[in-house]
């Protein structure tokens, strides 16, 4: 089952009237997402795909007949978007926007913890549970890559997500829930913080993480496995193996610092707790199959 959104989850889109906001709202609706309303300051009274638009999140929550949408998505970097959603009682927030000021994202993450909310992103494609709902930006050929199944996926990358997931599907599997953690230096939610949700989901048989150099999220996954927080089979692919030493590559969060964050160190940490780490995307499906069949060791 989905660990984040289902067909019943009511979604509020912040920035719904913009070019990107309206485009992806239509796509989300096509994929079965229950978009209840939208918010764009100064545009109240308009509608997008039949969904009413409000000035503020609080006003949408108070006046929309569906009640308080439990999930919010914002596309644009606007001062206070995340805080507005949290202040209005939203407990699940996906931040597609990248370039969120570092100090603001630190504050949003801290505020979310206080409110018992889950913030995913920024700089993410979003999340999807095939056959249920999609929240974010996934392409129209999505049904050829994202098929319903029992493999959970967590990712820091947008482009690699499609490639690796295609290899998982090609190996005969499907996806339970894919969570785009995002590529910014301070994500609202980290890999290890999502693991308990996958662990508790009876329909998630195994998890694949798509990581990269920089930061410590992959090492934190290894620590969670070692601590017994996550016990299901785990496979991974890490981008940035050939990146020049000391260079930031791609995402703002992809930088090695303090002696941690190298791909070599991440691979060693993950393999030490039994994870199968592929050296190329084309091997992920095979490694996953071997893990579940209790076949090859790595």
Catalytic residues: 251
Q: Do you know the residue count of the chain?
A: 298
**Pairing status of strand 175-180 against strand 126-129:** antiparallel
Phi, psi dihedrals of residue 66, rounded to the nearest 5°: -75, -5
34-39/206-212 β-pairing: unpaired
Residue that is written with structure tokens 């199959």 in the block = 289
The CA distances from residue 60 to 78, 203, 208, in Å, are 17, 34, 37
Cα 39–40–42 angle (5° rounding)?
A: 130
**CA-CA distance, 6 to 131, in Å (whole number)?**
9
Terminal CA-CA length for the chain: 30
Rounded distance, CA 234 to CA 276, Å? Answer: 7
User: Per the structure block, which two tokens stand in for 94?
Assistant: 């996906």
Q: In what order do the strands lie in the sheet with 133-136?
A: 133-136, 126-129, 175-180, 148-155, 206-212, 234-239, 276-278
Element (H, E) at 34: strand 34-39
How many Cα neighbours within 13 Å face the side chain of 107?
11
Mapped onto helix, strand or coil, the DSSP state of residue 212 is: strand
Q: Helix crossing, 263-272 with 217-226: angle to 10°?
A: 10
């Amino acid at each position: 089952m989905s660990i984040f959104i289902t067909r019943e989850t009511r979604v509020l889109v912040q920035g719904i009237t913009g070019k990107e906001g309206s485009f992806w709202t239509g796509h989300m609706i096509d994929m079965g997402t229950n978009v209840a309303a939208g918010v764009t300051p100064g545009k109240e009274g308009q509608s997008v795909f039949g969904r009413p638009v409000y000035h503020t999140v609080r006003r949408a929550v108070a006046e929309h007949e569906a009640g308080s949408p439990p999930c919010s998505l914002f596309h644009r970097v606007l001062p206070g978007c995340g805080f507005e959603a949290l202040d209005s009682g939203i407990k699940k927030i996906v931040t597609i926007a990248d370039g969120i000021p570092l100090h603001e994202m630190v504050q949003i993450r801290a505020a979310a913890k206080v409110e018992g909310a889950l913030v995913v992103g920024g700089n993410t494609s979003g999340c999807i549970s095939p056959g249920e709902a999609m929240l974010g930006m996934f392409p129209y050929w999505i049904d050829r890559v994202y098929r319903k199944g029992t493999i959970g996926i967590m990712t820091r990358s947008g482009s690699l997500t499609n490639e690796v997931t295609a290899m998982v599907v090609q190996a005969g599997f499907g996806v339970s829930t894919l969570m785009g953690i995002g590529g910014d230096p301070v994500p609202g939610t980290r890999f290890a913080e999502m693991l308990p949700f996958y662990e508790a989901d009876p329909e998630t048989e195994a998890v694949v993480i798509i990581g990269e150099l920089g930061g410590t999220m992959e090492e934190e996954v290894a620590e969670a496995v070692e601590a017994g927080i996550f016990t299901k089979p785990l496979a991974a692919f890490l981008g940035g193996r050939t990146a020049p030493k000391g260079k930031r590559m791609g995402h703002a969060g992809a930088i090695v610092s303090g002696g941690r964050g190298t791909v070599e160190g991440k691979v060693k940490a993950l393999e030490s707790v039994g994870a199968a780490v592929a050296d190329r995307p084309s091997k992920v499906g095979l490694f996953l199959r071997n893990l579940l069949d209790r076949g090859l060791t790595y």
